[in-house]
């Protein structure tokens, strides 16, 4: 690496200090830099550094100004001065690398980029080394850094955010909460930020992908901006994914699921690998509405949510919730399911809809096109997805009744997409011309547009039946506006006594409050004054600090082992049931996805395929037979692309292995596939556990085929050899299924 112990003769000489506040020169230099007046920037930075010579960051800025003018020797001296003053700053080495690359000094550039990668996992330094044909060293350095994490590191799992952003460019609800927590972490001093890392799952792979913090920061900063456009968002998402490597959480560290744990496929393989390493797993639960109030949810969501919840509870060591209401519901649900009690603590959300770094923008003279029709009109605002749970039908009836009474009603502005179970409501709205145009529906608004609507509405209304928190209530109060809200579930936690509560089941309750504020503007103004005087909003910094401190305290407890699913004698397990959308909600006390212990791909309606890259494929379950019992295990398999002579080896942990020679495919089968119905002798171990390994070994002296055979498990069952009733139950079930 170039010598940094001394400066070369061409080191930029600073002129005599000027009789001016040094900060004036610094700010003038920054302004010149922003307008790309590099000569002026050089002049002002020199003047600043004449008296503030220990400011490493400004030496870097001087280096930029010199480099842009082609003064490469002087720029090198400035960068090297910065490196002497702040030897742990990776960006300085990165800038040196860029300078050497520009000067055609390939070896020096590679050494500088390598120095940067030894200080921090800068994807830019890695990419530059790859471009200079040293990909192997770049990969080693980046991987080595990624493996170095503090002993109490918290890995923040944000898979669902990436899934959501593939389909939407504006965030709300859960995604907004995640961004608030992520922005809190990204704003921490470096020594504290190092105790956090962002990870995502790749489908149902067992490994987590570690995201580069700088790329996550760029994504968060863009999403917190005034305008989000699809092409730029896609580019930032691709960049974040493209720079990801494998994460390796260790004992003493924690994995925190920040968002929608049921999105992105089953997390069981990744959770199992983390749990096996001794990692504590926590989850931020927003609500349990799909299992406590399934009547308000899409049937598919109920199935997906309940499955993921059942799987998650097998791994979670502690749970954080967004409200005391959600904490109470979670504890009740655990008790009803007969599951062990877990630490459950509430970390209430922020009141402000603005994300960190977002300022409350002044109202524009001319409103944006999306909301321009409302400028100068009276309106009441309701912000939430239009779905049955949010109780918009209540608002429709309320407005229709007051209009019929002759009350001069303001417009009702609904901000949100149409969601579940509102077909009848939408038909009623259409049939009445949206109450003669008094109901207006908007969606996909930018934050600035939403802020404008909050600021200029008469008041807000939120009659939801059940919530995990109730962000629109906090948004209303933060904007200084009266909120008329449901008195149900968590909503009183959000607004306290500064909200006017109504009964979401009693229309007369809402009629009285809305009529009062619409017809008595003095009372409305007085209530607004009360809010301005007494409301104290909780911000994302406070939420973030509380959240991560609470999680750190809870992760210090020894993680509990993941339980094994219990397969009853005579019961037939179908992997397809793990993904069938019309299947009943999962039994949380029996998370059957965990039966696929390792070496399996994601289940499908055809069964579950063994992963040829992760042999052997393991099945593991607890039996209700007595420990040490002799068992019969029944398997229905499908073998695809198996050449004649292929051997399938089935190896119980306790029992004799069995090799099955696979002959030519049966006549009449489409494609090179064969169905196998097998019976295997096994023994339950001393703890009543059964384990079975399935492999397709390469014949001795043989070569692995170009296209490996594909092994698919379709059913699994077992019974003690002396349990004739259970054996008959299995055989009857399999026979009926084969005839069906």
What pLDDT digit, counting tens, does each position of 236-289 carry?
A: 999 999 888 889 899 999 999 999 999 999 999 999 999 999 999 999 999 999
pLDDT band of 148, cuts 50, 70, 90: low
pLDDT for res 444: 84
What whole-number distance in Å separates Cα of residue 270 and Cα of residue 205?
7
Looking at domain 154-346, its CATH architecture is 3-Layer(aba) Sandwich (3.40)
Q: What is the DSSP code string of 614-662? A: GPSEEEEEEESSPTT-EEEEEEEEEEESPPTTEEEEEEESSS--EEEEE
Report how far residue 547's alpha carbon sits from residue 543's, in angstroms, rounded to the nearest whole number.
6
Per CATH, the homologous superfamily of domain 372-535 is Glycogen Phosphorylase B; (3.40.50.2000)
> What does the alpha-carbon distance between residue 277 and residue 114 come to, in Å, rounded to a whole number?
30
Angle between helix axes 123-131 and 135-147 (nearest 10 degrees) is 160
pLDDT value at position 513? 98
Residue 440: predicted pLDDT: 97
pLDDT for 139 equals 84
Per residue in 149-193, pLDDT tens?
A: 788 999 999 999 999 999 998 887 899 899 999 999 999 998 899
Domains 154-346 and 372-535 share a fold: yes
Strand pairing of 344-346 and 318-321? parallel
Nearest to 312 by CA among 159, 167, 152, 150: 159
- CATH code linked to domain 22-147: 1.25.40.10
Mean local confidence (pLDDT), 138-144: 80
The model's pLDDT over 92-123, given as tens digits with 9 standing for 90+, comes to: 999 999 999 999 999 999 999 999 988 888 88
Q: Residues with Cβ < 8 Å from 689, sequence gap 6 or more?
A: 564, 620, 621, 622, 623, 653
Does residue 361 register a pLDDT over 90? Answer: no
Per-chain mean pLDDT for the chain: 90
**Is a pLDDT exceeding 60 seen at residue 668?**
no
Average pLDDT over residues 562-583: 90
* 132-146, 407-421, 424-438, 540-554: segment of lowest average pLDDT: 132-146
Confidence of residue 675 (pLDDT cuts 50, 70, 90): confident
Per-residue pLDDT at 136 exceeds 50 = yes
Class of domain 566-739: mainly beta
Quote the pTM value.
Answer: 0.78
* Chain-centre distance for alpha carbon 479: 28
Domains in the chain: boundaries: 22-147, 154-346, 372-535, 566-739
pLDDT for res 5: 36
Model confidence at 8, pLDDT cuts 50, 70, 90, reads very low
At residue 370, the pLDDT reads 85
- SS3 assignment for 549-603: HHHHHHHCCCCCCCCCCEECCCCCECHHHHCCCCCCCCCCCCCHHHHEEECECCC
**Whether pLDDT at 90 is above 60:** yes
Tokens encoding 264: 């992105």
| Residue 460's pLDDT band (cuts 50, 70, 90) | very high
Which pLDDT value is given to residue 246?
86
């Amino acid at each position: 690496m170039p010598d940094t112990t001394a400066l070369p003769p061409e080191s930029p000489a600073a002129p005599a200090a000027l009789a001016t506040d040094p900060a004036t020169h610094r700010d003038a230099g920054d302004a010149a830099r922003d307008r790309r007046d590099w000569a002026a920037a050089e002049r002002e930075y020199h003047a600043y550094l004449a008296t503030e010579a220990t400011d490493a960051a400004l030496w870097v800025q001087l280096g930029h100004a010199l480099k842009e003018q082609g003064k490469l020797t002087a720029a090198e001296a400035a960068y090297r001065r910065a490196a002497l003053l702040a030897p742990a700053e990776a960006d300085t080495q990165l800038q040196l690398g860029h300078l050497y690359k520009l000067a055609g000094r390939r070896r020096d550039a590679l050494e500088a980029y390598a120095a940067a990668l030894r200080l921090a996992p800068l994807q830019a330094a890695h990419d530059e080394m790859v471009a200079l044909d040293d990909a192997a060293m770049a990969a080693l350095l980046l991987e080595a850094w990624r493996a170095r994490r503090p002993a109490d590191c918290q890995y923040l799992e944000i898979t669902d955010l990436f899934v959501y952003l593939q389909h939407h460019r504006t965030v709300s609800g859960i995604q907004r909460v995640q961004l608030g927590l992520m922005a809190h972490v990204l704003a921490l001093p470096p020594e504290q930020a190092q105790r956090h890392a962002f990870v995502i799952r790749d489908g149902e792979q067992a490994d987590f992908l570690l995201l580069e913090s700088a790329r996550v920061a760029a994504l968060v900063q863009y999403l917190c901006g005034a305008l989000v456009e699809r092409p730029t968002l896609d580019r930032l998402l691709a960049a974040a994914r493209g720079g990801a490597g494998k994460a390796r959480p260790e004992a003493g560290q924690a994995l925190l699921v920040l968002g929608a744990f049921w999105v992105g496929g089953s997390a069981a393989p990744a959770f199992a690998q983390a749990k096996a390493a001794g990692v504590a797993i926590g989850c931020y639960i927003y609500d349990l509405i799909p299992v406590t109030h399934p009547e308000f949810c899409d049937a598919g969501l109920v199935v997906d949510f309940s499955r993921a919840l059942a799987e998650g509870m097998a791994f979670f060591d502690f749970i954080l919730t967004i409200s005391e209401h959600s904490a109470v519901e979670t504890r009740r649900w655990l008790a009803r399911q007969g599951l062990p009690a877990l630490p459950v603590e509430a970390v209430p959300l922020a009141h402000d809809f603005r994300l960190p770094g977002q300022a409350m923008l002044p109202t524009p003279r001319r409103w944006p096109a999306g909301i321009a029709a409302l400028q100068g009109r009276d309106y009441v605002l309701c912000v939430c997805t239009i779905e049955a749970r949010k109780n918009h039908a209540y608002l429709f009836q309320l407005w229709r009744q007051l209009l019929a009474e002759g009350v001069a009603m303001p417009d009702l502005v609904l901000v949100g997409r149409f969601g579940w179970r509102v077909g009848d409501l939408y038909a009623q709205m259409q049939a009445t011309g949206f109450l003669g145009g008094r109901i207006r529906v908007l969606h996909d608004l930018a934050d600035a547009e939403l802020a404008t609507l909050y600021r200029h509405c008469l008041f807000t209304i939120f009659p939801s039946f059940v919530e995990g928190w109730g962000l629109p209530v906090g948004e209303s109060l933060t904007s200084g506006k009266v909120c008329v809200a449901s008195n149900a579930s968590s909503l009183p936690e959000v607004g306290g006594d500064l909200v006017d509560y109504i009964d979401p089941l009693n229309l007369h309750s809402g009629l009285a409050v809305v009529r009062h504020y619409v017809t008595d503007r003095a009372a409305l103004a007085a209530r607004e004054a009360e809010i301005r005087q007494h409301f104290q909003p909780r911000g994302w910094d406070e939420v973030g600090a509380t959240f991560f401190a609470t999680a750190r305290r809870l992760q210090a407890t020894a993680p509990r082992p993941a339980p094994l699913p219990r397969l009853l004698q005579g019961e037939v397990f179908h992997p397809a049931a793990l993904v069938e959308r019309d299947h009943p909600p999962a039994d949380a006390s029996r998370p059957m996805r965990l039966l696929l212990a390792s070496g399996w791909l994601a289940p499908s309606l055809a069964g579950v395929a063994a992963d040829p890259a992760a042999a052997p494929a393991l099945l593991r379950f607890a039996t209700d037979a007595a420990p040490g019992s002799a068992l019969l295990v029944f398997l229905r398999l499908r073998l695809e692309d198996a050449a004649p002579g292929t051997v399938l080896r089935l190896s119980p942990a306790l029992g004799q292995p069995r090799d099955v020679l696979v002959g030519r495919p049966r006549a009449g089968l489409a494609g090179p596939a064969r169905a196998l119905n097998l019976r295997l002798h096994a023994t339950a171990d001393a703890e009543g556990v059964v384990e079975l390994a399935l492999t397709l070994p390469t014949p001795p002296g043989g070569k692995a085929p170009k296209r490996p055979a594909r092994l698919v498990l379709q059913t699994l069952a077992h019974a003690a050899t002396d349990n004739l009733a259970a054996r008959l139950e299995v055989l009857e079930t399999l026979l009926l299924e084969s005839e069906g």
